[in-house]
Structure 1
Amino acid sequence: MSENKTIATTASVQAFLDAVENDTRRNDSYALLELMQEITGYPPVLWGNSLIGFGSYHYKYDTGREGDMLIAGFSPRKQNLAVYNTGFVRYPKIMERLGKYKAGKSCLYINKLSDVNLDVLSELIKTSFEHMNTKYNS
């Protein structure tokens, strides 16, 4: 069985964010860093080489594969901010108030934070984080 590539590291989150070339993306990343740390109560940790995570949980599949994954996090990609939180689609009523974004199964893609309502984004992150933390860490 192959090893997980997305694992918590001891690399500097600040050094990673300081290296983000796009000024808006870098500034938005620092704002998101502060927001997620406040919501989760966890310090930021660099997972792999590009994900900033807050909190973690342990999973084990029926196949025997197991590992640890961040509960909430984000990554400043070249095209957008990718906000990770398992199960955003679980909250359609919150998401319809969010603003301009694209979504995957467990990911929101936001061009810039000014495209979304930050109070609604906070509510979405908090609701999803609490669900995952209760499910896996209670």
Structure 2
Amino acid sequence: MKRLFTYIMPVLFLSLLFSFSGDKDQLLFESKSVTARPKTSDSKEKIEHVFKFKNQSKESVLIEEVRPSCTCTTPGYTKESVKPGSDGFVKLSTTAEQLKKAGKVEAVIKTIDNKLVKKYYLLELSYGK
């Protein structure tokens, strides 16, 4: 009995592990981390970056929420469901002064698909000279 348990437990564990981690990301981002460099010395210069993605799943995906780590950042994103194979975006906007002070801003993206599967993505906008 002990021998049977020794063989069955690893197989059971591995099959559970792959059933949860085997899903690829629904959204394929061109990049998830960007360094923004101000074009002028004006601290009020608007800094924004558009993170583009493609829905590579077989389900339509809706962005439920974009939550930046700093209140100095304004998010924008595709509001309607993104159909399979279609493109969407997440935009982060701030000023050079605020981004320099923060060093970097991270944004958590929460999505849901037609089968009610939720996924989270992390995007990063950092300050560079």
Q: Which of structures 1 and 2 has the bigger CA Rg?
A: 2
Q: Which has the higher contact order (CA 8 A, sep 6+)?
A: 2
The two structures have a TM-score, normalised by structure 2, of: 0.26
Structure with the largest fraction of helix: 1
